[in-house]
Amino acid sequence: MAKIVCVLYDDPIDGHPSTYARDAIPHITGYADGQTAPTPQAIDFTPGEMLGDVSGELGLRKFLEDRGHTLVVTSDKDGENSRFDQELHDADIVISQPFWPAYLTAERIAKAPKLKLALTAGIGSDHVDLQAAIDNNITVAEITYSNSISVAEHVVMMILGLVRNYLPSYQWVLKGGWNIADCVARSYDLEGMNVGTVAAGRIGLAVLRRLKPFEVNLHYTDRHRLSAEVEAELNLTWHPTVESLVSVCDVVTLNCPLHPETEHMIDDVMLTKMKRGTYLINTARGKLCDSDAIVRALESGQLAGYAGDVWFPQPAPKDHPWRSMPHHGMTPHISGTSLSAQARYSAGVREVLECWFDEKPIRNEYLIVDAGQLAGAGAHSYSKGNATSGSEEAAKFTKA
């Protein structure tokens, strides 16, 4: 029998919801590229309820305990004395989320000699040292596409929020004001702007499709160029490099995975290649950016705004400079964990576990590392190496 350690974010401060704003959510059976939504044999939860927090347990406890396995669920993940560290020594499987990542560093993997599967509830497995997973023959999997559209919707929301100066205007309402001039002093129309995505995979392409009706000029760069048919359909301009794209765009959205080749891709040098007054959106990974360079660019006016929901590390320390920098629209990492998304990635986690315990193949599109090498989605999107360096800083959040 297996021991599964599951790291999830804390419950709401007022307790786990007893009722929800809506009675149901739409039932999604497949995605734009033809991939089907998760298809486990059964689920033990109601879609639309809270599953991603500690009490929600991804709806897994009954399934796992009925099979005789042990499930440990905790939000205490950072530092040597964390519950996560204490449970690693005999863990067979670790489940984590991008929103509250249990950083599986090489040091932690060395403490877990029985570990065979690292499973991401969602998409993005950069919180695992992929090189160490390769070297230790640990399978890494994630629930590809389960929350891609959730993130794409968040990107569009944040673009409009920055360009139309929504958040400062909302604050005037809370203050009891009617300060029209103050609200519109930084407000523009998105129409006619040049908008580009760094990477046009599932999320990036979904962003482009959702932006087309806004009558903007769409640009993209990706190491896997889209088909001529898609480029023509969306009237896309392809750029061979990030530098080429950012030099012409008014809005840049980052939608690429984090790995050693993309770490700190947006630094002081790259920012100087952008137009003055560019808006930058990052719902991919915080470590794609040099955090201090972003602050400097906002203070100087090189960037007109920065919004996103990804930080490094996560949770971000309370003194993280992105909490107090000017003209930002940051949120905690929530874009991919809407109640709708939770239903899909929880079902996907169960599907993977069913395959694992029944010794059936895991979907290729879910695999990141398998049999000692990058595989499936991992071979397409990642490079070998490690992007977890510095993750120990997340312990500062708890200490603060």
Positions annotated as catalytic residues are 147, 285, 314, 333
Helix (H, G, I), strand (E, B) or coil at 295: helix
The helix (run of H) or strand (run of E) holding residue 3 is strand 3-7
Helix (H, G, I), strand (E, B) or coil at 132: helix
- String of b and e for 57-93 (b: at least 16 CB within 10 Å)? bbbbbebbeeeebebebbbbbbeeebebbebbeebbb
Q: What is the DSSP string of 159-220?
A: HHHHHTTHHHHHHHHHTT---HHHHHTT----TT-EEEEE--SHHHHHHHHHHGGG--EEEE
Helix (H, G, I), strand (E, B) or coil at 261: coil
Q: Do the Cβ atoms of 347 and 40 come closer than 8 Å?
A: yes
| Paired strand residues for 373 | 370
Q: 239 phi and psi, to 5 degrees?
A: -120, 135
Q: Do the Cβ atoms of 105 and 83 come closer than 8 Å?
A: no
In degrees, rounded to 5, the angle at the alpha carbon of residue 35 between the alpha carbons of residues 30 and 41 is 70
Cα separation, 7 vs 18, in Å, equals 22
Q: Do the Cβ atoms of 219 and 239 come closer than 8 Å?
A: yes
Q: What is the DSSP string of 137-151?
A: T-EEEE-TTTTHHHH
State the SS3 of 305-372: EEEECCCCCCCCCCCCHHHCCCCECCCCCCCCCCHHHHHHHHHHHHHHHHHHHCCCCCCHHHEEEECC
Strands 367-370 and 139-142 come out as: antiparallel
Q: Do the Cβ atoms of 123 and 258 come closer than 8 Å?
A: no
Q: Do the Cβ atoms of 314 and 101 come closer than 8 Å?
A: yes
Residue 319 structure tokens: 């003194």
